[in-house]
Amino acid sequence: MINQDDKSKVVMLIDSISKEAKELDFIIHSPGGFPESVEMIVKLLRPRFANIRFIVPHSAKSAATMLSLSGNKILMNKGAELGPIDPQVEGPTSGPAQSIIDGFNEIKKTVELEKKLNGAYVPLLSKLDVATIKRCEAAQKYGKELVKNWLQGYMFNGDPQASTKAAKITDYFSNHNLHLTHGKPIFRDEVRAQDVLVEDTEAVDQELANLIWEYYFRFEIIFASNLVVAKIFQSEKELMVSNAPTVQIQNPIQIPSPPQIPQPAQPQKPSS
């Protein structure tokens, strides 16, 4: 997940790159995260590099899709995918903003139909108040404005149709009624159909495509073989690893077996 803890790592990666470099290839593989954290990364990258190409070997979903759309171009491997940009929110109820809104609306609809509140909904409603819904709606608006502004300012900078294209792309990626699920895969042909400047890695350079896939797959092996590793950040000169929080499991307490209680003797039947 992309979060505020990534700031120091991104700063170190940027500092490890030559000051003369004005172009950047940024390989990303992430299930998403928080739009505020993505905005932080973009504000670190864009003043430093005039041209950024985001490379997606496998998947860049949700907030990682937002980050990819802040680039001048996206390079996608065969089978690589982006996803809807429904932002994550934190609080008493955490998760994708649209899912929280849908849950609230479903309860509201059920109450209106049945004219009563099902007791099973009470614990949920204690977390799904109006303030939470407003926060979700604000998060969605915030995420859409970020993406639209980035598209206009970077990918379509100088294009007379920049505003129209940016609005079309933002509406498509944020259309929950179209995608239905937060995890829906959006493959490169679908991305390109929305006017996003996306290229097929193998069409640019087949050898490069093979190397990018190998690079990605080596990291997947690390994640699969070491469950403590949560994130890996790497540039040519830097390598940083973030570990997942660990839960220490204590040895179970040994409870002695209860003492054997002698059973009372059975009375003997009188002999006949």
pLDDT tens string 67-108: 999 999 999 999 999 999 876 676 666 667 777 777 777 777
Selection from 93-102, 104-113, 213-222 with the highest mean pLDDT:
213-222
pTM for the whole structure: 0.79
Mean pLDDT, all residues of the chain = 85
Q: What's the confidence (pLDDT) of residue 14?
A: 96
Q: What number is the average pLDDT over the span 181-196?
A: 93
Q: Report whether pLDDT(38) > 80.
A: yes
CB 44 within 8 A of CB 65: no
Q: What's the confidence (pLDDT) of residue 253?
A: 46
Q: What number is the average pLDDT over the span 33-51?
A: 95
Block residue for tokens 């073989």: 225
Please spell the DSSP secondary structure of 99-120, one letter per residue.
HHHHHHHHHHHHHHHHTS--GG
Q: Give the residue extent of every domain in the chain.
A: 4-88+143-243
Q: What number is the average pLDDT over the span 156-160?
A: 97
Q: What's the confidence (pLDDT) of residue 113?
A: 76
Q: What is the 3-state secondary structure of 7-27?
A: HHHHHHHHHCCCCCCCEEEEE
Q: Report whether pLDDT(40) > 80.
A: yes
Q: What's the confidence (pLDDT) of residue 249?
A: 46
Please spell the DSSP secondary structure of 67-78, one letter per residue.
HHTTSSEEEE-T
Is CATH 3.90.226 correct for 4-88+143-243? yes
Nearest CA to 136 out of 104, 108, 107 is that of: 104
Q: What number is the average pLDDT over the span 216-232?
A: 89
Q: Report whether pLDDT(165) > 90.
A: yes
Q: What's the confidence (pLDDT) of residue 264?
A: 54
pLDDT band per the 50, 70, 90 thresholds, residue 162: very high
